[in-house]
Structure 1
């Protein structure tokens, strides 16, 4: 027991000696213990404004690049942040896109046809190609140097084949025989001159070929257009409207062909191209006389210069259709006289057209002839034949498919073209 107390005493003394030794070493370095600097009193910091969010939004053409793990805009710079409005101020309304301005509707441009004067000369080449057989054959026979009975028979046959007609052919041949007998031997130029004179005489340049297209006694002139199926009446009316517009005439069209569904539409299209109104019925099969009556009435109210009335094509041997044509004429005349009745004939039908012309003339008193497709036939003699048959002049001729290929008939230009 005494030994245990001795050991504990030794351990205690060793521990105290070690502690004294450590304290002595520390003081030997600084002499004092090192004090930490006092912590300064916290100062009041100004309140920081939180960073404003970027309000830029990509426009319609902006693209977003997500390569590299972050989303960035391909625009070089971003729009600077906007300042929020004061709390006591209402936010400004978002701008609205202005309403798009509607373009003013533009009126369709109207065609302005050239004057019809001189068209026969302009289209002379086309006409001469069609009728060259007549002129060349006659010149070859007459200038051949030997005009015996057989040669004169050939001259007659050539004129008859050209639809000149028997009476006109006889007159031309008899006159040429006399001239050749008096002159003796003749050259081609002299024969050409004689033939030109004789044909021009048959065409009769003294006939009045003017179209009634001016106001009469305070009312518009009324022109009724008639003919058989397929002669091109509706197209002729449309082309005639262009001829009159070129002469500064105010025109009204009447679509009295109510049996053919497309006739009124076709006529209205022709009129619209040159600013000419069309009076029509919306009901297919309507009374054509009523439509014609309304057209003349509308022309009078609008103080037009002329009213052109298109009628349905009809076969000349159908008495009921011809009677209907007479009814149209009578109904129109209840409010206005008819100043012109134009009969449209297909020049390629030749002598067959003469019988048609006679029947129409009996029904409606034809005052003038329109020969269509004259450029497509070598039988130019139909001009002479139909004039002699009816005693009325050819006033207009169709020389092609173009809208301005309807020409006032010029007798001298026609004969020149035949003999070219």
Structure 2
């Protein structure tokens, strides 16, 4: 494994010959239903740099979809994982419990919003966390209906596919889906028919009316929302909308669930995105960055709600695996010690400044949005119609990949470029990545 200099370095055209050989092997061995964003195969990494099998050094502006917030091969995480692996790798917490599980739950109870008494339970993935949050809400309320929103993404299990809004590629051919899921309009300021200024109020009025008519308030077990929607396009709800939903839940005895799988753990400049409006969810679903790169998820919430399911109603063989718990404690320790929430704010300021310069040159950038180190641009046809331009988005992302910057797309219409760098990234790498984005836009529009 080569020593990594923290800079972008291209030794071959991308993808290089070793990556191309692996791509051929993948096509022969891996289901075509498992798609990849590019054919650049990674050998190792350090901080915000990924080194591919041809020795090219790439700037990671995706963090494995918001997972590697503390960076690749963070020494504290590597040490914690190595030590735990040498002690034991598995017992199943429900068979023989161990300290790490309890310690992670204590950290979650400490850092999630609100000063009330809390409990946590650990799982494997974001989808598992969301699904278990719904189970907990139903057990606590004795109700069945769950409200989700347009543009939402919550996972790939049967229930979370039902909660997810987008058919392609997540739901196509996989039905029938779980019942008692109702979808409401999202307060999407850029595309709200009445304009951004009226978005929160009108979206909430529509929500209350449709729930009353289609569901009935007394049937609602939970309202489930991403405080900033991820796969749907980094949609930041209109100011006030999240607070209104939380207050509505409190008034009607429903559980307000914040899906913080992508937004949690310092990504948005707060420990959790719900904190921006002072919202205290009843339940918080987490995963991704918590595990420092290892699979770990959780539901954290009000003690009386979390304790509502019957004993043994929550769990799983691998949930809260001891190695993942060790990695999480090390990652959370880095977030605390290095003030990665503050670092996310500074990264966001630098990115949005550069995106503003880019938007001044390219009217195809319809909107810049996000919070902290979770930023995006929505790419449109510049004719005043806000028509999504997925083809241009794809071309820009391909240009970034060829130049050695890993950047991701998203959005219901496939026209959003999202930026999720590790929170340990240096300013020089941020500037280099933004230079590459500018070059890729210019090339795609030439």
TM-score by length of 2: 0.30
Computing the radius of gyration from Cα coordinates, the structure with the larger value is: 1
Q: Which has a greater percent of helix?
A: 1
Higher strand proportion (structure 1 or 2)? 2
